[in-house]
Amino acid sequence: MLSGKEFVAQIKEENAALFAESRANVRRFFASNPSKEGMIEHFRGRMVNEAQNMYAISAEVAAAPASMPVSELELLTKQAHDEAKHFRMVKEVLEHISGETVDVEALFAAEAAAPQAKGASLLEKYEASEDAAALAAYQLVAEGRAEAVWAEMAECVEDSFIADRYAAIAKDEGFHSSIGARKLAALAEGCAEVQERIFALAAQMRADLAEISAKNTAIAVY
């Protein structure tokens, strides 16, 4: 049986292929020379995804039991704040691209009418609000992938206004992934049954995220 630290290291190793392919999808998207309208539509989905993460993590904070360690609650609160910041930063990018003030309500409605594939959808699919292991796995896998994707976008975009914001988001996503790693290491320590369950959960999430990655770049890769 692996130690908690070894367990997390193995999941990270198994994440590597997904992260590399996700970065490649980002490069393909930008290499396709998307139109201004295509860029706005694409980043509309990413803005809404950040908002959904904000709502979900904020709900976790609001529902936290009194028994939750204060240090863990502080980390979740920090993540909720980061997601709100990302929501605002992508909104600013949309306004920068369009040259107009963004009507957030209208963009949310447009996204609801034609939803794009989003990592945040996994929070509901895996009932992360009721399952500490699922939430931590989401943080380690999905937020880790988000770090790779935002970092790649920052490198692909020549506009420094956009690139600087996306690099900052990538850094935050890496921190969120580390929160999940810390929690999973604690949950998995000394328990083979928990490790087996989380390994399976992480594998399922990677499969879902691979599909999302292929869809949300609008570039066929299969």
pLDDT, position 160: 96
123 inside domain: yes
Give the pTM.
0.89
In a domain, 220, yes or no: no
pLDDT at 172: 97
pLDDT of residue 117: 75
Series of mean pLDDT values for 10-residue runs along the chain (222 residues): 93 97 92 89 89 91 91 94 96 95 90 81 84 92 95 94 96 96 94 93 94 66 32
Residue 31 in domain: yes
Predicted confidence at residue 80, as pLDDT, reads: 95
Residue 219: per-residue pLDDT: 44
CATH number (domain holding residue 114) = 1.20.1260.10
- Burial of 27 per CB tally in 10 Å (0-12, 13-18, 19+): middle
Count the helix, strand and coil residues of the chain and give each as a percent rounded to the nearest 5.
80, 0, 20
**Residue ranges making up the domain that contains 123:** 4-215
From the CB of residue 204, how many other CB atoms can be counted at a distance below 10 Å?
A: 15
How many structural domains comprise the chain?
1
Name which of 61, 56, 5, 60 is nearest 184 in CA terms: 5
Residue 137 placed within a domain: yes
Q: Contact at 8 Å (CB) between 10 and 2?
A: yes
Instruction: Give pLDDT tens digits for 70-100.
Output: 999 999 999 999 999 999 999 999 999 999 9
**Domain annotation covers residue 222:** no
Residue 60 lies in a domain: yes
Q: Give CA separation, 156 vs 23, 26, 76, 140, 149, in Å.
A: 10, 8, 30, 24, 10
221 located within any domain: no
- Residue 115 within a domain: yes
